Amino acid sequence: MIELKTYQQRRRRLAEQMQAGVAVIPTAPERSRNRDSTYPYRFDSYFHYLTGFGEPEAVLVLVAGAEPKSILFCREKNPEREVWDGFRHGPEAARETFCFDEAYPIAMLDEMMTKLLADQPSLHFHLGADSAWDVRAVGWLNAVRAEVRNGIAAPSAIRDVRVLLDEMRLIKSTDEIATMRRAAEISTAAHRRAMQQVRPGRHEYEIEAELLHDFHRHGAQAPAYTSIVAGGANACVLHYVDNSARLRDGDLLLIDAGCELDGYAADITRTFPVNGRYSAVQKDVYEMVLAAQAAAIGAVKVGASWDDPHQAALKVLAQGMIDLGLCTGSVDGLLESGDYKRFYMHKTGHWLGMDVHDVGDYKRGGQWRKLEAGMVLTVEPGCYIRPGEDVPEHLWNIGIRIEDDVLVTARGCEVLTLAAPKTVDDIEATMAGAA
């Protein structure tokens, strides 16, 4: 749980980095699912990072400079709607609870923005993220420009507020790390439960239900992304989410799933045998991917480049593909030609935080950025073997990915999801124990 004072500190830090000008950060809108039903509401990550306020129809305005202040625009109290839809803070209670300097009804936003932008040097905004908000922002600027004969100047610059926020979000605080540890624990338990519930004849969606059950019963609000529960050949589809097939004896099951807890994501992938025992060839491919992941995790440390874990994994995978007969030639030749991409076509990880593919540049000035303590990334090598005339038939339709969440620390790294069974022996023992 992030303390309320943390949100205040973040707003102050952003205002200091802006130096001058006005920032506008709206939350996400409610989305219609069909007719009069909406999708479960999920706030905008940037907005929530700065406010902790979870209601829709809200906007944060930050005024930087000599007299900085934070202003919330939100829905007014409405007892009738609260009977139907639930509690609303209203401006006054929101201001007191979430420590804003000022708060106003959302209906006053356009009127007040004209005043707030007057004689300000810049507007800090998420330009290009939402066309409707772009039009609205242009309207504010034009309204201020119309006052030029009255001696009022409009902002002369529009800056992307996400540039500053992305860097802030990339380094996780102690509170954030604690929340992500708990999200990892919940997700780890769910993967263990899934292993124990798998057997031939069940359907992928039944195992997805086990994951969701464990997420919610341990306090997570939602899955961090649509769970991938892919049996057999489906595991060779990277973003498979149909989750409808029957699980077959002798196949592997790839599960890529993690929960969201208090706005923070976990992201774990495990691949294991539907019948509880790896075949010899499945074990060979699995051990190759596991060794690649170990090499990649070993490369995660302060001062290493973002690409170092990927390159470490590639060397192991390339040699393994040669040994399995999937590719020919030398490791260096394979890496140079890129022929390995037929069986491993993605990077070895991504940033993790409030979003499962979290914010933050991977390169700076054209160079891979250096890892710093407090960054959290996934490490997820894989191997996906589709049928082909030149592919050994005994390897067809084996899809394996192994993914963990890794925190960069001053002494190296911490694998937040280490407790999820991962070795062949641990996975088989976990499944045998359930039987």
The whole-angstrom separation of Cα 421 and Cα 31 is 37
Dihedral angle computed from the Cα positions of residues 236, 238, 243 and 244, in that order, rounded to the nearest 10 degrees: -40
Strands 59-64 and 21-26: antiparallel
Query: Hey, how many other C-beta atoms are within 10 angstroms of the C-beta on 389?
Result: 5
Tell me if 422 sits within 8 A of 270, measured CB to CB.
yes
Helix axis angle, 4-18 to 161-170, nearest 10°: 130
Torsion sign, CA atoms 255, 256, 260, 261? positive
The whole-angstrom separation of Cα 7 and Cα 2 is 8
Tell me if 190 sits within 8 A of 211, measured CB to CB.
yes
Question: ∠ CA 190-43-374 to the nearest 5 degrees?
Answer: 65
What are the residue numbers of the active site?
36, 239, 256, 267, 346, 350, 357, 380, 384, 401, 403
Tell me if 381 sits within 8 A of 348, measured CB to CB.
yes
The whole-angstrom separation of Cα 21 and Cα 35 is 41
- What is the DSSP secondary-structure string of 174-187? HHHHHHHHHHHHHH
How far CA 124 is from CA of 61, 73, 143, 160, 162, in Å, comes to 10, 17, 17, 6, 9
Q: Retrieve residue 352's tokens.
A: 């993790």
Amino acid (one-letter) located at 150? N
